[in-house]
Amino acid sequence: MMSVDDSELQRLLLAMSGNDILKLYRRNIKKAARVLQDETIRIFKSKYNYKGAWRHKVRKKSGERMKTRRIARVTSKIKSGNVIVKVHIMDDYRAKWLEMGTRNRYTKGRRAGYYKLRADAKRRYALHVGKPARRGRINEGRFFRLAQTRKSKVLMESIRNGISDAIMEEAKKNGIR
C-alpha cells in the first residue's frame, strides 16, 4: 500500500475544483450502486419468471416503438453541491406491487340503466347490473429490501475503496506519491 502525506493530499484536493471532486464522488458512488442494482435483479429473477426487462409497444405520433422497463436502474444527480444517487425500482409500476404487495382487491360492480325502445314504440328502462368480484391479493416479495440487507456492507466498502483509489490515481497523475 502507498503512504500519502496528508499535506500533499490536502494540496491535491485544493488543486481539484469542486466539480471535479463531485464528479469523482458521483462516478464511484454510482459504480457501487450498480452492485445493489445487480443483486436486486438477481433476487427478482429467482422469485419471478423474469428475463431481464419487460418490453411493450408504445405508440406516438412518430410511430410505434418498443420500450424496455427494467426492474432496477441507477440514477444520479448533483444538487446544491451534494451527490444524490439512488437505485430506482419504480421504473416499472408493477415492481411496486411485487415489492410491497397489495391488500385484498375487489371490483365495485356497476349499475347502469338505459332506455330501450319496445316494439310498440314505448320506452322501457333496462337495467344492466355487474356484480362485484374478488380480484385477489399480491403477496409482498421484498426483493429490493432483501438486496439492501445482503449488500449494505459490500456497498459501503465499495464506495470507500473506489473513492480512495480515485484519489490515489489523481495523485499519481499530479506527481504526488
Q: What is the pLDDT of residues 128-137, one digit of tens each?
A: 788 889 999 9
Dihedral angle sign, alpha carbons of residues 96, 27, 32, 37:
positive
Q: Report helix, strand or coil for 120.
A: coil
State the total domains in the chain: 1
**Distance from C-alpha of 134 to C-alpha of 40, rounded to nearest angstrom:** 31
Residues 6+ apart with CB under 8 A from 2: 168, 177
Q: Report, as an integer, the average pLDDT of 122-147.
A: 87
Residue 80 belongs to what domain range? 6-103+139-173
Residue 86, domain member (yes or no): yes
Domain assignment of residue 58, yes or no: yes
In a domain, 155, yes or no: yes
pTM of the prediction? 0.70
Q: Could you tell me if residue 13 is inside a domain?
A: yes
Quick check: is 40 in a domain? Answer: yes
Residue 36 buriedness (CB in 10 A; 0-12 / 13-18 / 19+): buried
Residue 130 lies in a domain: no
pLDDT at 170 over 80: no
In a domain, 112, yes or no: no
**Residue 74: inside a domain, yes or no?**
yes
